[in-house]
C-alpha cells in the first residue's frame, strides 16, 4: 500500500472540518444528556450503537496516509507512532482480519441481493405486539394496544433483519415469514431494509480506525434520517415531538413508506460500495 505523508498544515484543516461536523451532529444529544432527558428518535444512534460522541469526533484519515507532526495519535489504538509521524498499525489490521472478512461478506452479499420494499416498517409494531410493557413507555401507541395488535394480525410480516427480529415479542416471532439468525445474516439482509442501511454506520465504526472519518459521518447522517422514518412509521404517537406519523396501516401510508425506503436504498448503495472497497483494500 502506497503511503502519502501529510504535513500538519495539510491535515489539520481536514481534522478541524471533521470535528466541527461531528460536534454539530452530536450537540443535541450531549445537551439532553446533561439535562438527563431522553429522546426516542434522536438518541438512538448513541444508545443502540456503541460509538460514543467523543469517539465520533476524533478524526481518522483512513488507509494510505501518514500524519506528520501528530503527537495526539501517539497513544491511539490502531496507530504506529514514530519520529512524530502516525500511520495505521499493520498489526492491528492483522488481528482483525477475520472480522473485516465477515463484514465484507455481509456487505457484498447485501449489494448483490434485490432490495425489497414491502415490509412497511412492521418490525416496530411486532416489537409491541401483545406486550405488557413497551420500550418507549412515555409515548402512547397511536392506535392503542388493541388497534396495534390488529395491524400486526392483518398484515404479512417479512422482516429479514436479525437485530430487528430479535426484539419481536414472543407472540410476534411466529408471525414473521422468516426466522432470521445471526449466522444467516449474510444470506438474508437486503438493501431495502431500513435497519440494514442504518447498520452501515455500525460497520463503518467497527472498521475504525481504518475507515475515513468522512465516510463514518456520511453513514451516521444516513442512519439518523432512516431512524426518523423508522419511528414516524412506528406505532408510537410522537406528534408532540414534531414527528408526523406515516400511517402504514393505510394505502397512502404504505406508499409513502415504500417511496422513502427506495430513497434510502439509493443513498445507502454507494456507502455500502465504499465500505466493501475499504475492506478489499485492507485485506489486500
pLDDT in single tens digits along all 284 residues of the chain? 678 999 999 999 999 999 999 999 999 999 999 999 989 999 999 999 999 999 999 999 999 999 999 999 999 999 999 999 999 999 999 999 999 999 999 999 999 999 999 999 999 999 999 998 777 778 899 999 999 999 999 999 999 999 999 999 999 999 999 999 999 999 999 999 999 999 999 999 999 999 999 999 999 999 999 999 999 999 999 999 999 999 999 999 999 999 999 999 999 999 999 999 999 999 98
Is the CB of residue 194 less than 8 Å from the CB of residue 264?
yes
- Is the preceding omega at residue 150 within 30 degrees of 0, hence cis? no
Q: Smallest Cα–Cα separation from 211: which of 20, 62, 77, 32?
A: 62
Q: What is the predicted pLDDT for the residue at 107? A: 98
Q: What is the predicted pLDDT for the residue at 146? A: 95
Burial 213-225 (b: 16+ CB within 10 A, else e): bbbbbbbbbbbbb
* Three-state DSSP state, 82: strand
Strand partners, 144: none
Whole-angstrom distance, CA of residue 268 vs CA of residue 220: 11
Whole-angstrom distance, CA of residue 200 vs CA of residue 218: 10
* Domain with 276 in it: 4-283
Q: What is the predicted pLDDT for the residue at 267? A: 98
Q: What is the predicted pLDDT for the residue at 133? A: 74
Instruction: Give me 83's grid cell.
Output: 519520529
Q: What is the DSSP letter of 71?
A: G
* Three-state DSSP state, 236: strand
| Global pTM value | 0.95
Q: What is the predicted pLDDT for the residue at 1? A: 65
Q: What is the DSSP letter of 176?
A: B
| Domain tally, the chain | 1
Burial 182-203 (b: 16+ CB within 10 A, else e): eeebeebbbbbbbbbbbbbbbb
Amino acid at each position: 500500500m502506497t503511503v502519502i505523508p501529510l504535513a500538519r498544515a495539510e491535515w489539520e484543516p481536514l481534522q478541524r472540518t471533521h470535528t466541527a461536523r461531528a460536534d454539530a451532529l452530536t450537540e443535541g444529544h450531549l445537551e439532553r444528556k446533561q439535562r438527563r432527558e431522553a429522546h426516542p428518535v434522536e438518541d438512538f444512534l448513541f444508545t443502540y450503537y456503541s460509538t460514543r460522541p467523543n469517539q465520533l469526533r476524533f478524526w481518522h484519515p483512513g488507509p494510505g496516509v501518514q500524519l506528520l507532526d501528530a503527537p495526539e495519535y501517539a497513544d491511539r489504538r490502531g496507530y504506529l507512532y514514530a519520529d512524530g509521524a502516525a500511520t495505521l498499525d499493520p498489526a492491528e489490521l492483522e488481528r482483525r482480519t477475520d472480522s473485516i472478512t465477515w463484514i465484507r461478506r455481509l456487505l457484498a452479499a447485501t449489494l448483490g441481493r434485490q432490495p425489497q420494499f414491502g415490509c412497511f416498517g412492521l418490525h416496530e409494531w411486532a416489537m409491541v405486539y401483545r406486550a405488557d410493557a413497551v420500550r418507549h413507555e412515555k409515548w402512547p401507541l397511536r392506535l392503542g394496544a388493541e388497534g396495534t395488535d390488529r395491524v400486526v394480525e392483518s398484515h404479512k410480516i417479512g422482516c429479514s433483519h436479525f437485530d430487528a427480529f430479535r426484539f419481536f415479542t414472543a407472540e410476534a416471532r411466529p408471525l414473521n415469514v422468516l426466522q432470521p439468525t445471526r449466522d444467516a445474516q449474510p444470506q438474508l439482509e437486503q438493501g431495502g431494509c431500513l435497519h440494514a442501511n442504518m447498520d452501515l454506520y455500525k460497520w463503518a465504526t467497527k472498521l475504525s480506525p481504518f475507515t475515513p472519518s468522512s465516510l463514518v459521518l456520511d453513514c451516521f447522517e444516513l442512519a439518523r434520517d432512516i431512524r426518523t422514518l423508522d419511528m414516524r412509521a412506528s406505532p408510537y404517537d410522537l406528534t408532540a415531538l414534531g414527528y408526523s406519523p406515516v400511517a402504514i396501516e393505510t394505502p397512502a401510508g404504505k406508499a409513502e413508506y415504500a417511496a422513502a425506503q427506495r430513497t434510502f436504498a439509493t443513498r445507502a448503495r454507494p456507502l455500502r460500495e465504499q465500505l466493501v472497497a475499504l475492506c478489499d483494500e485492507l485485506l489486500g
